[in-house]
């Protein structure tokens, strides 16, 4: 059966700007960047050592036009430090760090209004 979730897609309006944001602001690594058509590339990023990749697909082509909460949650060991680093890099937090019964939580938005959760253990 299945062994992992290999790639998920996030819709973006500009693949070059999205690639720069995910690599230089969020700390992802570029995995692949190949032509798909005359107007779009297969641009894939991942967290260092991560098994799941994100394909930065053009909205209306290989990605949906939907904006808002993606449902994707990135894990960290230190929520406060991660959020501080993101803010220093110009990333917009849409939900400031807080402690919930199920862990620490925050949210951020990328350049195309895709929103992601950030989770850390409460301890």
DSSP string, the chain: ------EEEEEES-HHHHHHIIIIIT--EEEEEEE-SSS-EEEEEE-TT-S-EEEEEEBTTTB-S--EEEEEEEE-S-HHHHHHHHHHTTPEEEEEEEEETTEEEEEEE-TTSEEEEEEE---
H or E segment to which residue 86 belongs: helix 79-88
Distance CA(23)–CA(102), nearest Å, equals 29
pLDDT, position 3: 82
Using the predicted structure, report yes or no on whether residue 13 has a pLDDT greater than 80: yes
- Full set of structural domains in the chain with CATH: 1-66 (3.10.180.10), 67-123 (3.10.180.10)
pLDDT, position 12: 97
- The pLDDT confidence band at residue 2, using thresholds 50, 70 and 90, is confident
pTM of the model: 0.91
pLDDT, position 118: 97
Q: Contact, 20 vs 9, CB < 8 A?
A: no
pLDDT, position 62: 87
């Amino acid at each position: 059966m299945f062994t992992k979730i290999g790639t998920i897609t996030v819709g973006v309006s500009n693949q070059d700007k999205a690639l720069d944001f995910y690599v230089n602001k969020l700390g992802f690594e570029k995995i692949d960047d190949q032509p798909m058509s005359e107007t779009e590339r297969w641009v894939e990023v991942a967290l260092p050592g991560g098994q799941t990749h994100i394909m930065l697909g053009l909205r209306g082509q290989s990605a949906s036009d939907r904006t808002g909460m993606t449902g994707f949650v990135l894990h960290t060991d230190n929520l406060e430090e991660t959020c501080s680093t993101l803010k220093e890099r110009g990333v917009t937090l849409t939900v400031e760090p807080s402690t919930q019964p199920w862990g620490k939580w925050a949210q951020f938005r990328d350049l195309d209004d895709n929103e992601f959760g950030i989770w850390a253990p409460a301890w």
